[in-house]
């Protein structure tokens, strides 16, 4: 069971993807589509490759199999930029090759390929000679992952007949194949037939990835095909079948109930109890061909009207060959409707939510009391909204003990995938939190989210008026999470005249500047077990601080990922990064990209040699060099902030060269 773990800090966060933007449907231009036929697009599970058949120039002759790579990959929402298709020369001959299906393994690599072709006895390359019956046959080839080469195709004679057998669709587990044939035994015209195979060897799948189908039947003999029956087939034609990624739904095209015998898309769900496909449905609203369609509808341009009720311009178009990405976001299909580059063209459209699978999803975790140094479980109410309306109200229970185990929980409930949920978490005397759980798209089966939600107590608002008992400015150092005073903390005062810093002596865990500072100043606060921080106070705020207590909050080191301890050191007066620095920053860049809610301050530092103004510029340049490198590695600019500390935050004595070398650095600070 795949799990998702989150520790929620002071404020509620959106944990999952934001709502998908409305994306218009696309007919691809050249080089993907041409004035020739581009038909039966098969999109790879990740959306990186598109395989299709075409009779475009540059092939082996006739209809060939071609492959194109998406140069926009892996951005799922960006418009795909397909490179110039390459001919699949290993399999193509001067005759017909097309109407195929690819079986992918668990690593999304091609494993087997089934395609439609004809006997070939006259090829210049004897390796491409093929046996088979008259007419169309189904052929099979398997890739050698060691060499990357496909084996010589073999006629699948346990399935083929003396009639036209074409358009194979292999199930994602490799155990079933559906194809179209006009052989006797069907209802008439071309019908859909199914063959199954039992594996000779059963693979050992220790930890199946429930996001992807497991390849169970890697070998075995295909059984005698049987017609899918009157539920699926009609007296007209059923062609170009394909499987949904989970194997429990098929798509196909049929010209049933169409007076012009034009093809529209249908789908059929499998009854999991009987393992039989149910009565097919024409792709409904907004796909219904009896309704007027527009370029703003979700499903446009899926199916085109088959009668004269609307859009008579499109009455003669066919819609054949469809596949769906494994994230359930995109349909790819072919159509010969007007407005394309040529005959059949390849189109793409977003999968509507009502065609995405819905599974049970477990939401569980701990609501914790953030007012305690050692947090305990908290009585709280969780209101769960289905986008706009409340659908569930559950409660968490107060529990104690060691709550560090990921399996301990004080709430749980079951949600359904396919929706966006908003969760409000509240408890009397605590600040409420809100989080989003986005279960739209392909979430998959048997998933769960485990969340640790920390509620912070509502503390009385402090009187902001000066306290006449406080002489000068008072400081106190507290734990950022618990708001408790940190004993044995230290603070050091810096200004333009105090380059080395002045230690402020503590009295009862408070620190006093009895004399009002004349210039802008900084305070360096540190404590054992906490990450030290520098606090900057410009001269414009000094008067408002007099007679008041200012809290300096520090974070416990346990609240940080180890990568936040990364330090980049610089030689004297240098700003550029070394090779070893870039290797350390590569790890930090990967961490920030993977943790979408993390934000970081990049702090530049110098020794105390030279004037303050020069050192401010130098420390900013050092921070900028790190910032620019992280940007080049793909870290969003919104996740980073630059701060120039010059010599106000030394970590070593500036009296020695060794100490000054340690102070010439860039380090990192987590930002809420």
Q: What is the pLDDT of residues 98-122, one digit of tens each?
A: 899 998 887 778 889 999 999 888 7
- On the CB side of 295, CA atoms within 13 Å amount to 4
Closest Cα to residue 113, out of 199, 161, 51? Answer: 51
CA–CA separation, 133 and 166 (whole Å): 12
Tell me phi and psi for residue 616, to 5 degrees: -60, -45
What does the angle CA 17 – CA 23 – CA 24 come to, to the nearest 5 degrees? 170
CA–CA separation, 609 and 666 (whole Å): 17
Closest Cα to residue 410, out of 448, 457, 363? Answer: 363
pLDDT at 284 over 60: no
Write the CB contacts of 302 (distance below 8 Å, at least 6 apart in sequence).
265, 283, 287, 319, 331, 333, 349
The residues with which 286 forms a beta bridge, in sequence order, are none
Q: What is the pLDDT of residues 476-532, one digit of tens each?
A: 999 887 788 998 899 999 887 777 788 999 988 899 988 888 888 889 999 988 888
pTM of the model: 0.56
Q: What is the pLDDT of residues 142-184, one digit of tens each?
A: 988 888 889 989 999 999 999 999 999 999 989 999 999 999 9
CA–CA separation, 466 and 547 (whole Å): 5
By the 8 A CB rule, do 172 and 245 touch? yes
By the 8 A CB rule, do 516 and 472 touch? yes
CA–CA separation, 439 and 418 (whole Å): 5
Q: How confident is the model at residue 212, as a pLDDT?
A: 58
**What integer best gives the mean pLDDT of the chain?**
82
- What's the rounded mean pLDDT across residues 264-273? 90
- On the CB side of 284, CA atoms within 13 Å amount to 6
Q: What is the pLDDT of residues 419-440, one digit of tens each?
A: 889 899 999 888 888 888 888 7
Whole-number percent of the chain with pLDDT over 70: 85
The residues with which 393 forms a beta bridge, in sequence order, are 383
Domains annotated on the chain, with CATH: 26-298+314-355 (2.120.10), 360-457 (2.60.40.1120), 473-559 (2.60.40.1120), 562-671 (3.30.1330.60)
Write the CB contacts of 663 (distance below 8 Å, at least 6 apart in sequence).
605, 606, 607, 608, 647, 650, 651, 652, 654
Specify the DSSP class assigned to residue 461: P
Q: What is the pLDDT of residues 518-571, one digit of tens each?
A: 888 889 999 988 888 888 888 888 888 888 889 999 888 777 667 777 889 998
pLDDT at 196 over 80: yes
């Amino acid at each position: 069971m795949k799990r998702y773990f989150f520790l929620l800090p002071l404020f509620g966060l959106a944990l999952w993807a934001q709502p998908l933007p409305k994306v218009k449907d696309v007919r691809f231009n050249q080089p993907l589509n041409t004035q020739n036929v581009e038909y039966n697009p098969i999109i790879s599970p990740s959306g990186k490759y598109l395989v299709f058949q075409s009779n475009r120039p540059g092939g082996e002759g006739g209809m060939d199999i071609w492959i194109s790579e998406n140069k926009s990959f892996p951005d799922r929402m960006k418009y795909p930029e397909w490179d110039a298709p390459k001919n699949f020369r290993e399999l193509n001959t001067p005759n017909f090759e097309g109407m195929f299906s690819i079986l992918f393994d668990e690593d999304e690599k091609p494993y087997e390929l089934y395609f439609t072709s004809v006997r070939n006895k006259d090829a210049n390359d004897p390796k491409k000679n093929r046996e088979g019956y008259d007419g169309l046959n189904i052929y099979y080839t398997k890739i050698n992952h060691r060499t990357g080469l496909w084996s010589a195709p073999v006629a699948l004679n346990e399935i083929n007949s003396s009639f036209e057998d074409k358009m194979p669709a292999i199930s994602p587990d490799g155990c079933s194949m559906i194809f179209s044939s006009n052989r006797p035994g069907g209802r008439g015209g071309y019908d859909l037939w199914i063959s199954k195979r039992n594996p000779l060897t059963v693979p050992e799948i220790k930890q199946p990835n429930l996001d992807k189908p497991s390849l169970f039947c890697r070998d075995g003999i295909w059984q005698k095909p049987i017609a899918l029956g009157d539920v699926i087939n009609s007296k007209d034609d059923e062609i170009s079948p394909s499987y949904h990624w989970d194997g429990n739904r098929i798509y196909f095209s049929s010209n049933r109930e169409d007076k012009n015998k034009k093809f529209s898309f249908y789908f059929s769900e499998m009854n999991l109890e009987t393992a039989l496909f149910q009565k097919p449905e024409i792709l409904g609203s907004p796909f219904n061909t009896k309704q007027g369609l527009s370029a703003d509808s979700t499903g446009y341009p899926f199916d085109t009207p088959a009668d004269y009720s609307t859009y008579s311009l499109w009455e003669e178009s066919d819609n054949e060959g469809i596949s769906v990405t494994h994230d359930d976001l995109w349909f790819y299909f072919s159509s010969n409707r007007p407005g394309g580059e040529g005959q059949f063209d390849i189109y793409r459209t977003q999968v509507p939510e009502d065609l995405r699978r819905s599974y049970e999803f477990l939401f569980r975790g701990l609501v914790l009391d953030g007012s305690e140094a050692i947090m305990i479980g908290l009585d709280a109410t969780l209101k769960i909204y289905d986008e706009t309306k409340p659908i569930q109200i559950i409660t968490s229970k107060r529990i104690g003990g060691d709550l560090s185990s990921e399996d301990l929980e004080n709430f749980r409930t079951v949600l359904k995938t396919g929706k966006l949920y908003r969760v409000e978490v509240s408890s009397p005397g605590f600040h409420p939190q809100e989080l989003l759980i986005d279960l739209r798209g392909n979430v998959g089966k048997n998933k769960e989210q485990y969340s640790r939600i920390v509620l912070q107590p509502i503390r009385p608002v402090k009187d902001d008026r000066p306290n006449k008992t406080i002489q000068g400015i008072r400081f106190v150092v507290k734990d950022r999470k618990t708001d408790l005073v940190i004993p044995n903390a230290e603070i050091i005062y810096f200004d333009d005249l105090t380059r080395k810093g002045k230690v402020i002596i503590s009295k009862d865990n408070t620190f006093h500047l009895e004399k009002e500072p004349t210039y802008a100043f900084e305070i360096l606060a540190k404590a054992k077990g906490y990450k030290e921080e520098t606090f900057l106070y410009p001269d414009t705020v000094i008067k408002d601080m007099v007679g008041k207590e200012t809290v300096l909050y520090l974070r416990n080191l346990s609240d940080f990922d180890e990568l936040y301890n990364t330090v980049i050191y610089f030689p004297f007066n240098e700003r550029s990064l070394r090779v070893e620095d870039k290797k350390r920053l590569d790890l930090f860049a990967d961490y920030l990209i993977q943790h979408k809610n993390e934000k970081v301050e990049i702090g530049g530092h110098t020794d105390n040699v030279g004037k303050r103004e020069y050192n401010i510029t130098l420390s900013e340049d050092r921070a900028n060099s790190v910032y620019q490198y992280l940007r080049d590695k793909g870290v969003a600019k919104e996740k980073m902030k630059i701060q120039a500390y010059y010599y106000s935050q030394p970590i070593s004595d500036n009296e020695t060269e060794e100490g000054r070398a340690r102070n010439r650095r860039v380090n990192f600070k987590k930002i809420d």
